[in-house]
Amino acid sequence: MKYNLVCGFETHIELSTENKLFCPCKVKFGSEPNSNCCPICIGAPGTLPVLNKQAVIYAIKMGLALNCKINLFSKMERKCYFYPDLAKAYQISQNDLPLCGPGFVELDSGKKIRINHIHIEEDAGKIKNESDGIYVDYNRAGVPLIEIVSEPDISSVEEAQEYIEKLQLTARYVRVSDARMQESSIRCDVNISVKPENSDKLGTRIEIKNMNSIAFIAKALKYEYERQVDVLESGKKLVQETRRFDEQKNRTEGMREKEDASDYGYFPDPDLSSICLEQKEIDEIKKNLPEMYYSRKKRYISIGVPEKTASLLIKYVNVSDFFDSAIKNCKSPEKVANLIIGQIFSFLGSETEKENFKISVLPKDLNYLVNLISDNKLNMASAKNLLSKALDNNENLKDLANKFVSESPKFDLKQVCCECVKDCPEAVKDYLSGKEKALQVIIGKVMAKTRGSADAVEAKNIIKNIIKEKK
């Protein structure tokens, strides 16, 4: 029997607010353990939470960007469970009346992955297993989260990967989170089941907790699909449970039976008032949303940037912003794009460096460099060398380019090409006999005479026309 994969996600994204959700403590990754917490964070008796308005605005922005309805009335509730990283034995979250939903994420195929809702909640602390004991760091306790709950619409590993990548891009473009999986500021609970092909009945749902790597999500889904099919094929029944993914063994392992919402005993938080919004507030937030990645990609393609290059540019929001600044009044946006994904990406190297995109070169100076190429004052090879030099030595690109142009020999490219064709009769003869590579001899002469300042592609075209006219 053939089985179909059915998958849905509960995706937690930390919001990049300055302060925590209910107290003034700073939100800062990598601080000394328990240095960013207070009595409110850990629920000390007599403390009262105060809702961070900025977190609500960020959640609304994310909801709007994901095509969600924003509910004018929502409320905060207590989700009751005991675990050492949750000092007050409950988590402030939303259940019956969440802030956003329903909505959807559209994949490149056109398929829409439905979003059931998005709610606000506080993060828990972090348990650390050390050789001498188990410790709890409450720095993360109270950090504002949004949880994006999808419907079980994902039917392949590839769709799952694309869905998470699009959530990550959306969070970065609306600037509500850096959404870095390596720092757990975006992490997923993956719900997976299998069902017989052509059946409408969903199978037993298994949850894989706290996935913070797209590569590991793919591996976990592949393993879990095969495991569930094997269980069913052997005549056994699957049990609803929570599992974890072992990154060393590339397999999932059982943790505990899966809870349902009713197990948490949700009830309205008596210390917090309901969230009441006006439509004009939502309209104002919507009006100020930035241009999204999918819209930018279409725009880049429309101005001559190849689709593959456009996809690389929109992958990092800071790169996309830099590109937009660099192509203002630019004669060749494609050349700007090529220099970014070529020279600059090579200089930066890591994904984090590309995300941050902190370089000494200004967008206007890259624009200036490319316009020099378009005006035939500089060739691409020289431009690449100048850009690399500016990046490596933290030098001013415009000054380097002006100095190079002023020191370059002045020449008439057509005249130089005519002289070189005349000086290379054997190469001309070989070219006319069908040996295309023979042109490289003449082009080499041109580059030598111009001290590398000529555009090799343009020189090649001129040489071909000269030979054609003489033929």
pLDDT at position 216 is 95
Domain residue limits at 84: 3-285
Q: Is residue 128 domain-shared with residue 146, that is, in the same domain?
A: yes
315: pLDDT confidence band, cut at 50, 70 and 90? very high
Element (H, E) at 443: helix 439-449
User: Are 107 and 20 contained in the same domain?
Assistant: yes
115 phi, psi to nearest 5 deg: -105, 125
Of 215, 250, 285, the one marking the end of a domain is 285
**Confidence band, pLDDT 50/70/90 cuts, at residue 262:** low
> Pick from 318, 410, 401, 405: which is nearest to 367 by CA?
401
- Looking at residue 391, what is its pLDDT? 96
State whether 396 and 419 are in the same domain: no
Would you state the pLDDT for residue 258? 64
Please say if the pLDDT value at position 240 is more than 80.
yes
Query: What is the structure's pLDDT at 43?
Result: 87
pLDDT in tens, 134-191: 999 999 999 999 999 999 999 999 999 999 999 999 999 999 999 999 888 999 999 9
Average pLDDT, the chain: 92
Same domain, 358 and 238: no
Domain end (from 260, 285, 310): 285
The predicted structure's pLDDT at residue 323: 98
The tally of domains found in the chain comes to: 3
Token pair belonging to 442: 């003449």
Q: In this structure, are 85 and 105 located in the same domain?
A: yes
Residue 470 confidence class, pLDDT cut points 50, 70, 90: confident
Q: What is the CATH number of the domain that holds 420?
A: 1.10.10
Half-sphere exposure of 413 (CA within 13 A, CB side): 19
261 band by pLDDT with thresholds 50, 70 and 90: low
Quick check: 446 pLDDT over 90?
no
Last residue of one domain, picked from the residues 285, 315, 342: 285
pLDDT beyond 80 at 356:
yes
Name the percent of the chain lying above pLDDT 90.
73
Q: What is the pLDDT of residues 176-232, one digit of tens each?
A: 999 999 888 999 999 999 999 888 899 999 999 989 999 999 999 999 999 999 999
189 forms beta bridges with 10
Asked if residue 244 and residue 295 are part of one domain, the reply reads no
- pLDDT surpassing 80 at residue 256: no
Given a cut of 70, is residue 85 above it in pLDDT? Answer: yes
Q: Do residues 327 and 194 both lie within one domain?
A: no
Which has more pLDDT, 409 or 264?
264
Tell me the average pLDDT across 235-245. 93
- Cα–Cα distance for residue pair 255/395, rounded to 1 Å: 55
Residue 340: pLDDT band with limits 50, 70, 90: very high
For the ranges 124-128, 243-247, 403-407, the lowest mean pLDDT is seen at 403-407
pLDDT > 70: percent of the chain: 99
349 and 315 in one domain? yes
Banded pLDDT at 459 (limits 50, 70, 90): confident
The C-alpha atoms of residue 161 and residue 334 are separated, in whole angstroms, by 29
Beta carbons within 8 Å of 21's beta carbon, 6+ residues apart: 49, 51, 52, 55, 92, 120, 121, 122, 142, 143, 144, 145
Does position 439 have pLDDT exceeding 80, yes or no?
yes
Q: Report yes or no: 297 and 326 within 8 Å, Cβ to Cβ.
A: no
Q: Is the pLDDT score of 287 beyond 80?
A: yes
Same domain membership, residue 295 and residue 204: no
Mean pLDDT of the 265-287 span: 95
**369 and 341 assigned to the same domain:** yes
Q: Do 338 and 305 lie in a common domain?
A: yes
Same domain, 138 and 213: yes
